[in-house]
Amino acid sequence: MSLRSPKNGNSTECHYWGYSFHWTDLHSSADELRPLAYTYDTLADECVELLNKIPTNDDSDKKVYKKDLYGLLRDHADEDPKLQELWTQINTVPDWVDWAQIQRGQDVFFRYGLPILNVLSFESLLGGMGAIRVVETLTRTGGFGAKVVRRRLLETLQHILQVNSSVEGMRPGGEGHISSVRVRLLHSSVRKRILSLVDQKPEYYDIDKYGTPVNDLDCIGTINTFCSSVVWLGLPRQGIYLNQQEIEDYIALWRLVAYYMGTPTHPFEDTAKARAMMESLLITEIDPTEVGKILAKNIIIGLENTAPAYASKEFMEAMARLLNGDQLSDELEIPRSNLHYKMLIWGYCFWVMGVSYIIPRISFLDKMMISLRRKYFYRLILDEKMGLGEESRFEFKYVPTLTRKTRLGERRSTKFERPGIESLARLGLLAAFTGVVTLALASLLHHDVSQTSRLVLSKNLAIAILSGWKIDIDNNTASRTIGQYLRKWFYGLKSNLPPRHSLLMGLTGTVNGQSKAVHSIESRIALEKKTKCISRRFSTG
**Domain ranges, residue 226:** 100-303
Beta bridge partners of 104: none
- Examine residue 124 and state whether it is found in any structural domain, yes or no: yes
Query: How far does CA 302 lie from the centroid of its chain?
Result: 18
Query: How far does CA 439 lie from the centroid of its chain?
Result: 33
Pairwise CA distance, residues 306 & 401, whole Å:
29
Pairwise CA distance, residues 334 & 318, whole Å:
9
Element (H, E) at 198: helix 175-200
Question: How many structural domains is the chain composed of?
Answer: 1
- Examine residue 51 and state whether it is found in any structural domain, yes or no: no
C-alpha pair distances (Å), 414 with each of 58, 150, 294: 40, 15, 21
Pairwise CA distance, residues 391 & 154, whole Å:
10
* DSSP letters spanning 321-361: HHHHHHHHHHHTTPPPP-HHHHHHHHHHHHHHHHHHHHGGG
H helices present in 382-450, as ranges: 421-445
- Examine residue 135 and state whether it is found in any structural domain, yes or no: yes
Pairwise CA distance, residues 214 & 131, whole Å:
13
C-alpha pair distances (Å), 457 with each of 407, 473, 477: 53, 21, 19
For 183, residues 6+ apart whose C-beta sits below 8 A from its C-beta are 159, 261, 394
- Examine residue 85 and state whether it is found in any structural domain, yes or no: no
Beta bridge partners of 15: 20
Beta bridge partners of 8: 11
Other CB atoms closer than 10 Å to residue 484's CB: what's the count?
17
Other CB atoms closer than 10 Å to residue 404's CB: what's the count?
15
Residue 124 · residue 281 · CB < 8 Å: no
C-alpha pair distances (Å), 498 with each of 332, 334, 441, 475: 48, 46, 16, 31
The predicted pLDDT at position 459 comes to 53
The predicted pLDDT at position 532 comes to 47
For 70, residues 6+ apart whose C-beta sits below 8 A from its C-beta are 178, 181, 182, 185, 393
Other CB atoms closer than 10 Å to residue 270's CB: what's the count?
14
For 78, residues 6+ apart whose C-beta sits below 8 A from its C-beta are 84
The predicted pLDDT at position 11 comes to 59
Per-residue 3-state assignment (H helix, E strand, C coil) for 215-268: CHHHHHHHHHHHCHHHHHHHCHHHCCCCCHHHHHHHHHHHHHHHHHCCCCCHHH
Angle (nearest 5°) at CA 383 between 377 and 385: 125
- Examine residue 473 and state whether it is found in any structural domain, yes or no: no
The predicted pLDDT at position 469 comes to 39
Element (H, E) at 378: helix 363-381
For 188, residues 6+ apart whose C-beta sits below 8 A from its C-beta are 41, 44, 45, 47, 48, 214
For 120, residues 6+ apart whose C-beta sits below 8 A from its C-beta are 156, 157, 160, 225, 226, 230, 234
Element (H, E) at 169: helix 167-170
Pairwise CA distance, residues 51 & 48, whole Å:
5
Other CB atoms closer than 10 Å to residue 99's CB: what's the count?
13
Q: What is the dihedral of CA 392, 397, 400, 402, to 10 degrees?
A: -170
Pairwise CA distance, residues 448 & 443, whole Å:
9
Q: Is the dihedral of CA 7, 480, 122, 231 positive or negative?
A: positive
pLDDT string in tens for the chain (541-residue length)? 334 545 554 558 999 999 999 999 999 999 999 999 999 999 999 999 999 999 887 655 555 567 899 999 999 999 999 999 999 999 999 999 999 999 999 999 999 999 999 999 999 999 999 999 999 999 999 999 999 999 999 999 999 999 999 999 999 999 999 999 999 999 999 999 999 999 999 999 999 999 999 999 999 999 999 999 999 999 999 999 999 999 999 999 999 999 999 999 999 999 999 999 999 999 999 999 999 999 999 999 999 999 888 999 999 999 999 999 999 999 999 999 999 999 999 999 999 999 999 999 999 999 999 999 999 999 999 998 889 999 999 999 999 999 989 999 998 765 656 678 898 898 888 888 887 777 767 766 664 555 555 555 555 555 554 444 333 334 444 444 555 555 554 454 445 444 444 444 444 444 333 344 334 444 444 444 444 444 444 444 4
Say if residue 351 is exposed, middle or buried (CB neighbours under 10 Å; 0-12, 13-18, 19+): buried
Pairwise CA distance, residues 17 & 331, whole Å:
10
**3-state class (DSSP) for residue 495:** coil
Query: How far does CA 231 lie from the centroid of its chain?
Result: 8
